Amino acid sequence: MDIGFSPEETVFREECRDWLHANVPAEKRPLDAADAVDFDKAWQRRLFDAGWAGINWPVDYGGRGLSIVQQVIWLEEYAKAHAPWIGANFVGINHGGPTLILNASEEQKAYHLPRILKGEAIWCQGFSEPGAGSDLAGIKTRGRIEGNELVINGSKIWTSFAHVADWQELVLRTEDGSLRHKGLSWVICDMHAPGITVRPIRKMSGQAEFTEVFYDDVRIPLANVVGGLGNGWKVAMSTLSFERGTGFIADQVKQSQEIEELIATARANGMIRDDRIADQLAQLRAEVAAVRAMTYRNISEVVRTGQPGPEASVIRLFTSELGQRLERMAVILMGEDIIDFAYGDDNAVADYLRGFAATIAGGTAQIQRDIIGERLLGLPKSR
C-alpha cells in the first residue's frame, strides 16, 4: 500500500494546477439555473478545448482516455483552485455520459458523448415520479409503441435542470401491464419535443433548480432506446451506480477544502476557544481525512479489479452525512447572522438548506442503509 503518486502523475498534477490557476473564472457562478446554464456551458467548453473534459472517457468520443487516478488528481486540483461547481453539466458528465459509454449503440455514443463533453448539450434525469421515489420500480409514465416511435404520457418530478436541458435520461414503462422492474426502458428523450411542459419548483434555499415535467403525447424515436426495449431497469441501475459512485468524488474532494476554511473561520472569530466547537472541528477534520482514504481505497479497487468494491455505498452514505455536518458547522460559526438569510442569498445558509438534498437525492440515506445491510452484510432483504 502507498499513497504516493508516480512521476507521470505528479507532472499531470502540475499541469492541472497551472492551467486552473490561469483559467478559473474570477466571477461567481450565477445563482439562478437559467442564467447559470450559460455560464456552465461556457466553462465546460473551455475545459474541453483545453483537454480537461472527460479525462477518463474513451478517446474515440472526445475523452482523453487517461486513468481514473488522473481523473481524481484533476478533481483534487479543481477543488483546491476553487473552480466552479459543475452545475447543469452534472447529469451529462457524471452519469448520463458514463451510462451511454456502457450501454448505448455506436450511433448514440458518437452523437451524444462529444456534445456532452463540449458543454453543447445539457442533460437531466427523469427517474422519479410523484408516486415513485424511493420505490423507483413503481414508475407509471408510459411509452406506447407506434410504428418506429414511442408516444409518451405521464409525469416526472424533482428533475433537476429540466427547464434548461436538451436531453433527458427517461425511464418509462414501455410494456403494457408490466409490473415493477419488468417492461421498463431507458430512453434518450428530446426535451425540446412538442408535448413537454416543465414547471420549475423553488427549493427552500430559494433557487429553482429542480422541476416537474409533464409528457403529453410526446413522440420519441424508438432508436433512442438505450440498451434495448424492456431492459430499462438494468440500464437505470448502471446510471445509479455512476451517480452514487464516481459522480460524487468531486464532493468528497471539496470537503477537505471546506473543513480547512471552517477551522480558519473559527480561529478568526474566536469560536474555536469553545471546547465543544473545537472538538467538533477536530472530529470533522478526522472524518474528512477518512473520506479521502475511503475514496482512495475505492479507486485502488477500481484500478485493481476494474470495478468499485461493494463499499462504494458506504462512502456515499458517509460523505453525504458528513457534508451535512460540515454545512451545519458553517452556520453555527455564523452565529446570529443566520437570521439575516433571504431568498437570493448565496452563502453558507443557502448551502446548508440546499444540503438537505445529500441524504435524499440519488437514493435516500435510508435506502443506502438498506443496500449496505443487504449487500455488504448479507442481511435479509426487507422489500
Ligand X SMILES: Cc1cc2nc3c(=O)[nH]c(=O)nc-3n(C[C@H](O)[C@H](O)[C@H](O)COP(=O)(O)OP(=O)(O)OC[C@H]3O[C@@H](n4cnc5c(N)ncnc54)[C@H](O)[C@@H]3O)c2cc1C
Residues classed as catalytic: 243
CB of residue 367 to ligand X, shortest distance in Å: 6
Which does residue 290 touch among ligand X, other proteins, none (CB within 5 to 8 A, set by kind)?
other proteins
Q: How far is the CB of 138 from ligand X (least distance, A)?
A: 9
For residue 208, the minimal CB distance to other proteins (Å) is 33
Residues facing residue 154 across a β-bridge: 215
Residues 125-184 that bind ligand X (CB under 6 A): 125-128, 133-134, 158-160
Does 12 help bind ligand X (rule: CB under 6 A)?
no
Going residue by residue from 316 to 355, which x/- string records binding to ligand X, judged by CB under 6 A?
----------------------------------------
Q: How far is the CB of 170 from ligand X (least distance, A)?
A: 9
* Angstrom distance (rounded) from CA 92 to CA 153: 24
Q: Which does 158 bind (CB under 5 to 8 A by kind): ligand X, other proteins, none?
A: ligand X
Q: Does 360 bind ligand X (CB under 6 A)?
A: yes
**Closest listed residue to residue 215, CA positions, set 164, 183, 161, 173:** 173
| Measured distance CA(261)–CA(11) in Å, rounded | 27
Closest CB to ligand X belongs to which residue?
133
* By the rule CB under 6 A, 237 interacts with ligand X: no
**Buried b or exposed e, range 232-260, using 16+ CB within 10 angstroms:** bbebbebbbbbbbbbbbbbbbbbbbebbe
- Binding site residues, other proteins, CB under 8 A: 1-5, 9, 69, 263, 272, 278-279, 281-283, 285-287, 289-294, 296-297, 299-301, 303-304, 311, 314-315, 317-318, 366, 368-370, 372-374, 376-382
CA distance 96 to 168: 9
What does 134 interact with, of other proteins, ligand X, none (CB < 5 to 8 A by kind)? ligand X
Q: Give DSSP secondary structure letters for 272-309.
A: GGSHHHHHHHHHHHHHHHHHHHHHHHHHHHHHHHSS--
* Cβ closest to ligand X, residue 70 vs residue 224: 224
- DSSP per position, 150-168: EEEEEEEEEEETGGG-SEE
DSSP, res 248? G
* Residue 187 within binding range of ligand X, rule CB under 6 A: no
Which triple of cell numbers denotes residue 238? 448502471
Q: Give the largest Cα separation in the chain, rounded.
A: 71
DSSP 313-351: HHHHHHHHHHHHHHHHHHHHHHGGGGGG--TT--SHHHH
- Cell triple for residue 205? 434555499
Does residue 357 touch ligand X according to CB under 6 A? yes
Angle between helices 275-305 and 312-334 (to 10 degrees): 150
Please tell me the count of residues contacting ligand X according to CB under 6 A: 20
Q: Per CB under 6 A, does 361 bind ligand X?
A: yes
For residue 377, the partner it binds in other proteins, ligand X, none, with Cβ less than 5 to 8 A by kind, is other proteins
Per-residue exposure over 214-225, b if at least 16 CB sit within 10 Å of its own CB, e if not: bbeebebebebb
Q: Which stretch binds ligand X (CB under 6 A): 92-100, 122-130, 250-258, 371-379?
A: 122-130
Closer residue to other proteins, CB minimum distance, 55 or 299: 299
Who contacts 69 (Cβ-Cβ below 8 Å, separation ≥6)? Answer: 5, 9, 299, 303
Range 45-104, binding ligand X (CB under 6 A): none
Q: Which of 12, 78, 167, 210 is in the footprint of ligand X by CB under 6 A?
A: 210
Rounded distance, CA 350 to CA 331, Å? 10
Residues between 273 and 312 with contacts to ligand X, criterion CB under 6 A = none
Q: Which does 83 bind (CB under 5 to 8 A by kind): ligand X, other proteins, none?
A: none
- Could you give the CA distance from residue 114 to residue 20 in angstroms, rounded to a whole number? 22
Residues at the site binding ligand X, with contacts judged by CB under 6 A = 124-128, 133-134, 158-160, 210, 357, 360-364, 366-367, 383
